[in-house]
Structure 1
Amino acid sequence: MVSEIAPDVYDITVHDDGNGRYRAFFFDFPVPTLVDTGLADTTDALVDGLEEIGTDPERVVITHGDGDHIGGLEAVRDRYDVETWVPAQTDVDESLVDRRYSSGDTIGPFSAVHVPGHTRDNHALIDEESGIAVLGDAMFGSDARGLPAGYFVLPTGFYSEDLLEADENLERLLEFEFDVGLVYHGSSVRSDASSKLSEFVDFVGKPQ
């Protein structure tokens, strides 16, 4: 299932069984860029989504090494002529990597921001000019916890390496302004995203 989140920015849902939703994001500008690749066994759905959009990726950026983000990398690399960017901290077969990146690096229009906690290698990718941030698993959409959509919550502690660190490192994202915050679990925040993130960081009673 494909939905256009913003002009030329697409949410490709590769699996949704009511209990868990997995997705990738595709930016059809200026270099067609796929951010994350879903699970190894959801590649067919990912390819179907890209065919629906009608543009082949030329660049793949991985936000972190969880299986639902990097699992399809090998299949995507085999199918498309892509340049692959993977965080410096991510444990992956080097034959799948063209470029390693770190916090502060620029990848096309994106600034990379290391936001460890959920995993040690988790990164956000922020395009301030377009006002869009891909948050990796730094945050989930609030409806992933049964709350009204349109806000942020921390990722689930059970699946995170250090939730306290994840919370503390959100401060790094407050240096940037973005209207849309794309998340992989729950609904993305489509307006006032950086303001809502700031409110979450400063809210003493936020859900943990």
Structure 2
Amino acid sequence: MTDSEDHASRRGRPDTVKPVTELGDGVYDLTLTVEPARYRAYLFDWDRPTLVDCGLPETSETLIDRIERVGIEPERLIVTHAHPDHDGGFDAVVDRYDTTTWVPEESTLAADNDPDHRYSHDDTVGPFTAVHVPGHSVDNYALVAPDRDLAVMGDAVLGADWRGLPAGYFVLVEGIYSDDLVAAERNLERLQQYAFDVGLVFHGSSVFEDARGKLDDFVDFPNKGDWDDPD
């Protein structure tokens, strides 16, 4: 077993990650790195080609390579929040593709190019509705496409296999990476107002079936079942 395979096994993740995966219906997973963390961007060929997040500064060349592999140039860039693994390629994408950009109103962007638009909770950006889910960061957003039954989760949650648990479920981004873990969990209730079957995450494996139901199970867990008082 190679070091990479061993690390993937210990993390509960497969070692067969493809750099570009068409998830269906004009949705492309652009995997930028696997080790030491799974970093991604997503490209949507829907109303107009839209890139959601843009990786680290040092993965900008990789991101552009992934976009070129798909063969669809983004016309719109949406940033879910201003952490380096989500907005680090902002200038590279804008300079290369002259994209129209959308950034949360709460974000402080470390980029030479100014955002074209600022968005806030419940705003519509193309097919997406922006849902403010602070906690991981003050500016963290999810993007829900109700007509497509899909949500891009930002870093509101990550794939459970990133923490060594079975794939196909959600967990919170752990405390060392989140500003306020209690708020991060509490604010997941905002996503329960929307319907979606697929939940795309940036770290770990995405959830492709009953994503809202699994989010409900995670959020509502303390209220489920009858618990005996240990005293």
**Which range, TM-score by smaller chain?**
over 0.9
Structure 1: which 5+ runs fail to align? none
1:17-58 superposed Cα distances (whole Å, 9 cap, x missing partner): 2x2111001101111000000000101111111111110000
Aligned AA for 1:74?
Answer: D
Q: Look up the SS of the partner of 1:24 in the other structure.
A: strand
Counterpart Cα distance in 2 of 1:6 and 1:86:
26
- Verify: 1:78 aligned to 2:95, yes or no: yes
Structure-1 residue corresponding to 2:187? 169
- Which of 110, 115, 120 pairs up with 2:133? 115
The answer to whether the 8 Å contact 1:73/1:96 transfers is no
Listed as ranges, the matches of 1:59-98 within 5 Å are 59-92=76-109, 93=111, 95-98=113-116
Q: Look up the SS of the partner of 1:204 in the other structure.
A: helix
1:148-196 superposed Cα distances (whole Å, 9 cap, x missing partner): 0000001111110000000000000000000110001110001110111
Structure-2 residue corresponding to 1:160? 178
Counterpart Cα distance in 1 of 2:186 and 2:112:
31
- Which of 127, 135, 138 pairs up with 2:156? 138
Structure-1 residue corresponding to 2:49? 32
Counterpart Cα distance in 2 of 1:23 and 1:98:
23
- Verify: 1:57 aligned to 2:70, yes or no: no
Structure-1 residue corresponding to 2:40? 23
RMSD: 1.4
Which ranges of 4 or more aligned residues in structure 1 deviate by more than 6 Å?
none
The answer to whether the 8 Å contact 1:37/1:68 transfers is yes
The answer to whether the 8 Å contact 1:131/1:180 transfers is yes
Q: Look up the SS of the partner of 1:96 in the other structure.
A: coil
The answer to whether the 8 Å contact 2:94/2:113 transfers is no
- Verify: 1:7 aligned to 2:36, yes or no: no
TM-score by length of 1: 0.96
Structure-1 residue corresponding to 2:166? 148
Percent identity of the aligned residues? 54
The answer to whether the 8 Å contact 1:27/1:34 transfers is yes
Cα deviation for residue 7 of structure 1 reads: 1.6
Counterpart Cα distance in 2 of 1:165 and 1:94:
31
Structure-2 residue corresponding to 1:180? 198
Largest Rg, 1 or 2: 2
Aligned AA for 1:136?
Answer: G
Structure 2: which 5+ runs fail to align? 1-18, 224-231
Q: Look up the SS of the partner of 2:107 in the other structure.
A: coil
Give the aligned length.
205
